[in-house]
Amino acid sequence: MNGQTLHLGIAGLGTVGAGVVRLLRENAQAITARAGRAIEVVAVSARDRTRDRGVDLEGLTWHDDPLALVSDPQVDVVLELIGGAEGTARGLVEAALKARKPVVTANKALLAIHGAELSAHARENATPLLFEASVAGGIPAIKLVREGLAADRLLKVGGILNGTCNYILTAMRESGRSFDAILNEAQALGYAEADPSTDVDGWDAAHKLAILAGLAFGQPVRFDSLHVEGIRNIAACDQAFAREMGYRIKLLGLARRTEEDGIEAWMRPCMIPHSAPIANVDGVFNAVSTEGSFSGPMLIEGRGAGAGPTASAVVADVIDLARGTTLPVWGMAPKAAISCAPRTALRGQYYLRLLVQDRPGVVADITAALRESGVSLRALSQHGAEPAASEDSTSPAQAASHSVVPLALVTHETSEAAMLSVLEALEPLESVMGAPLLMKIETV
Amino acid sequence: MNGQTLHLGIAGLGTVGAGVVRLLRENAQAITARAGRAIEVVAVSARDRTRDRGVDLEGLTWHDDPLALVSDPQVDVVLELIGGAEGTARGLVEAALKARKPVVTANKALLAIHGAELSAHARENATPLLFEASVAGGIPAIKLVREGLAADRLLKVGGILNGTCNYILTAMRESGRSFDAILNEAQALGYAEADPSTDVDGWDAAHKLAILAGLAFGQPVRFDSLHVEGIRNIAACDQAFAREMGYRIKLLGLARRTEEDGIEAWMRPCMIPHSAPIANVDGVFNAVSTEGSFSGPMLIEGRGAGAGPTASAVVADVIDLARGTTLPVWGMAPKAAISCAPRTALRGQYYLRLLVQDRPGVVADITAALRESGVSLRALSQHGAEPAASEDSTSPAQAASHSVVPLALVTHETSEAAMLSVLEALEPLESVMGAPLLMKIETV
């Protein structure tokens, strides 16, 4: 890192890698002024040498093996933009840290899953590892939590952390269409991957939440202890119930301190009152919320993905390096990762949606299951048939074979353990069709 | 700044100063972990030694003269929490920088008005001057703009930067009551000062905007070149028109690059479409918005004032110092302050509200004035009498002396110069009573 110009080696030339090259050139003058020295890409590594990436790579050293960036003496800083928790990306980051070459990465899975270990490597080798781009793209969420709120005791951190899911849920709400129809459309528009599971099953967002939790509480969380649910089971009827009850459905992540000095952390679809600021973060936008005992509540929203915002975050990290700013990975000396509280320890209000046969006695069976688990009902709504008609078999719709209608109920505050025992009690009921959908209600 | 523990001297023990003492004690363990060393207050200076501030000051050195903190050899860092652009605060900050003692301040007026000069002092003496608490309290707006978005070319920065004004405007909207009534109530609740002019005339918010602009564009702006208007002239009828037209009234500040490579910057009440996220930042909350060519739009909202949020920001700066992080005041080498574009160069849509006599020909006179200035009308609304009746003198309300009714019009995009010439043309009209109210319409 000596000398005037800071020389970068980039591994991975996808949209983000190409965006970094472009940003460094377009904003070169301002970046040099802010960093106090020039910053230049000198070497790259990517699989395909021939693909047109929209940026001129003339004059850059091309390494077929990303690890060659570590041993290339002209490279001061390695930018890992390959992705994935294992394999090449992990090997490259470890090798660079061991060679005392600073690393900037956008890799959320790597940090979420191997963050404890990597922070130990970074400390042992006194080498910075920066990852602003791994969470919420252009939103400087990591700097906000680790430095902006460094003085405060954070009680919780969370947010809407996957733009694909937020786009799908927003489009479902606005159009009344199904998850599958909107997903297909999002794939056609390039907002969703051909294999959408990382996004729609909640993993991508959960990785980001785990990183935010580690920064907020100064200690990595065990990723496998997070409760993670995706949005595949949200149906058009859930959006209709949400509207009727004054909620919006969001894939929400939250990590908060528990009374027992532990941490609760989960990523799951939630019902949020529509008047809450975070309920109005729509489309591909992301949002990060914090609450501190001194700073109070805070919410930041912006573009969570895309070449431009992500490149902006990567280069902000590089500028910090150029200025000589270095911090421990989790904002303080490394600690072992801690486990989150089990799902059964969660508490709150819940939304439970069932598909039920529209015939006499069904509501009585369901409310009996709630009573037996000690869950108190706050509201109940049934669509597709008049509620009054559901106990009355004279209507034409309820002839020989009973029609199936969605039924939603909202509980008073209870434990998630109690809700899971309600689900168990409903399981054998013949009048309950298919899998019930359980969502937490969160006021954030 | 050598040695393990970092020792602070605090000048000014109002609610913020006392909050800093309390925060440092309550969060001592986490702060030490994050800073890598202990941080302790060792000396203070304030006028009244006897006042109960809710914190134990036993054992701290008490200086009657704040300047004694500079010469006190046990003090590593001076916290200037006195306030005010001139006098003691300014003298203290300058003296500390010249003595090469780092300064942390919450003083927005000082930075906004003397920022260019102070950044030169800081550079000459290679001594950090940090001021996160000067803008938007607990929101780390300065770190966000100066470091989080350091890689990006910012096109604009702005926001809602005064909690008192936002509280008053929100309460006026919700209650339908007058500015004076709500101001009196806010004073009784402690949300507004006995002398409210710094807040309600826009100066406090304008100071913060000038600081954000300096950081966004890497160069201080001449504070006296900002166009500043307060909220005293907003009437209940303006809130009613805003509701009817789908807007919310906010004291909004914005600084943006102009096509001529200059900067436009102003603080003034604006009409904002109610669907814009910033239009929904209500009550005492503040918000900061940015737009970058790579990062896109971003909005952060939180508590903009109060002992807790402000103390959190002050101590975050102290932790940065303890870690050895130092940056130039405006994020790059000092430049001379630049002047903002004149008010007449602004463009946009405008809202113009007049109090007019409800008699024939008035609307014709007003629309003629618009036409002569080349301003095209988009919408017009009159309250208090049926629009049809306004050209019809048979209604009982328009007997001998004509009643006075509010009339609002909204223009298509035009120049502010044209709107000022409309105001001039309306001036001599006898049917226009009192001063017209002109507001910019901003989509942010």
Tell me which chain B residues have a C-beta less than 8 angstroms from the C-beta of A151.
23, 27, 31, 34, 311-316, 318-319
ipTM of the complex model: 0.93
Chain Cα centroid distance, residue A340: 16
Which residues of B are annotated as part of the binding site for L-homoserine?
193
For residue A27, give the nearest of B153, B312, B318 by CB distance: B153
**Annotated binding residue at A264?**
no
Residue-wise over A422-433: b if at least 16 C-beta within 10 A, else e? bbebbeebebbe
Helices (H), B191-332: 197-200, 203-217, 236-245, 307-323
DSSP A84-123: -SSHHHHHHHHHHHHTT--EEE--HHHHHHHHHHHHHHHH
- Architecture (CATH level 2) of domain B141-303: 2-Layer Sandwich (3.30)
Tell me the residue type at B356: V
Structure confidence at residue B124 (pLDDT) = 96
Structure confidence at residue B103 (pLDDT) = 98
Report the alpha-carbon distance of residue A91 to residue A117 in Å, rounded: 13
**Annotated binding residue at A435?**
no
Q: State whether residue A146 is helix, strand or coil.
A: helix
Tell me which chain A residues have a C-beta less than 8 angstroms from the C-beta of B30.
153, 218, 332
Q: Give the percent of chain B with pLDDT over 70.
A: 95
Boundaries of every domain in chain B: 6-134, 141-303, 343-441
Beta carbons of B45 and B9 less than 8 angstroms apart: yes
The torsion defined by the Cα of A74, A77, A82 and A85, in degrees rounded to 10, comes to 130
The tokens describing B400, both together, are 């001998």
Contacts of A393 (CB under 8 A, 6+ apart): A359, A360
Beta carbons of B345 and B229 less than 8 angstroms apart: no
Q: State whether residue B425 is helix, strand or coil.
A: helix
Tell me the residue type at A424: E
pLDDT at B1 over 50: no
Residue-wise over A257-276: b if at least 16 C-beta within 10 A, else e? eeeeeebbbbbbbbbbeeeb
Does the distance separating the beta carbons of A218 and B34 come in below 8 Å?
A: yes
pLDDT at B395 over 80: no
Which residues of B participate in catalysis according to the annotation?
208
For residue B151, give the nearest of A294, A319, A331 by CB distance: A319
Whole-angstrom Cα Rg for chain A: 25
Residue-wise over B116-128: b if at least 16 C-beta within 10 A, else e? bebbebbeebebb
DSSP class of A358: -
Report the alpha-carbon distance of residue B266 to residue B245 in Å, rounded: 24
Beta carbons of B326 and B128 less than 8 angstroms apart: yes
Beta carbons of B183 and B168 less than 8 angstroms apart: yes
Tell me the residue type at A428: P
How many beta carbons lie within 10 A of that of residue A386, not counting itself? 11
Does the distance separating the beta carbons of A150 and B31 come in below 8 Å?
A: yes
- At the topology level, CATH places domain A145-303 in Dihydrodipicolinate Reductase; domain 2 (3.30.360)
Q: CA-based angle B224:B148:B319, to the nearest 5?
A: 90
Report the alpha-carbon distance of residue A318 to residue A312 in Å, rounded: 10
Report the alpha-carbon distance of residue A295 to residue A287 in Å, rounded: 18
End-to-end CA distance of chain B: 43
Structure confidence at residue A392 (pLDDT) = 44
pLDDT at B398 over 50: no
pLDDT at B54 over 70: yes
Nearest CA-CA distance, residue B363 and chain A, Å: 40
Tell me which chain A residues have a C-beta less than 8 angstroms from the C-beta of B331.
34
How many beta carbons lie within 10 A of that of residue B421, not counting itself? 18
Residues B100-133 pLDDT 10s: 999 999 999 999 999 999 999 999 999 999 999 9
Residues B313-372 pLDDT 10s: 999 999 999 999 889 999 998 888 999 999 999 999 999 999 999 888 999 999 999 999
The confidence band for B385, taking pLDDT boundaries of 50, 70 and 90, is low
Top residue of B27, B39, B143, B152 to mutate, by most chain A CBs within 10 Å, is B152
pLDDT, mean over chain B: 93
CATH (residue range A6-134): 3.40.50.720
DSSP B134-200: GSSTTS-HHHIIIIITTTS-EEEEEEE--HHHHHHHHHHHHH---HHHHHHHHHHHTSS-SS-HHHH
Place of tokens 């000459």: B124
DSSP A256-273: EE-TTS-EEEEEEEEEEE
Helices (H), A378-436: 416-426
Would you say domain B343-441 falls under CATH 3.30.70.260?
A: yes
Question: By mean pLDDT, which of A398-402, B299-303, B396-400 is the weakest?
Answer: B396-400
Report the alpha-carbon distance of residue B31 to residue A224 in Å, rounded: 29
For residue B298, give the nearest of A277, A297, A302 by CB distance: A302
Report the alpha-carbon distance of residue A304 to residue B193 in Å, rounded: 40
Does the distance separating the beta carbons of A292 and B138 come in below 8 Å?
A: yes
Does the distance separating the beta carbons of A151 and B315 come in below 8 Å?
A: yes
Chain Cα centroid distance, residue A374: 33
The confidence band for B134, taking pLDDT boundaries of 50, 70 and 90, is very high
> Phi-psi bin for A311: left (phi > 0), alpha (psi -120 to 50), beta?
alpha
The tokens describing B241, both together, are 């028109």
Q: What is the pLDDT along chain A (444 residues), one digit of tens a residue?
A: 444 899 999 999 999 999 999 999 999 999 999 999 999 999 999 998 889 999 999 999 999 999 999 999 999 999 999 999 999 999 999 999 999 999 999 999 999 999 999 999 999 999 999 999 999 988 999 999 999 999 999 999 999 999 999 999 999 999 999 999 999 999 998 889 999 999 999 999 999 999 999 999 999 999 999 999 999 999 999 999 999 999 999 999 999 999 888 999 999 999 999 999 999 999 999 999 999 999 999 999 999 999 999 999 999 999 999 999 889 999 998 888 999 999 999 999 999 999 999 888 999 999 999 999 999 999 999 987 554 444 444 444 444 467 999 999 999 999 999 999 999 999 999 999 989 999 999 987
- Is A335 annotated in the active site? no
The tokens describing B75, both together, are 């003090």
The tokens describing A54, both together, are 């929209």
The tokens describing B250, both together, are 């906010």
Read off φ and ψ for residue B106, nearest 5 degrees: -110, 15
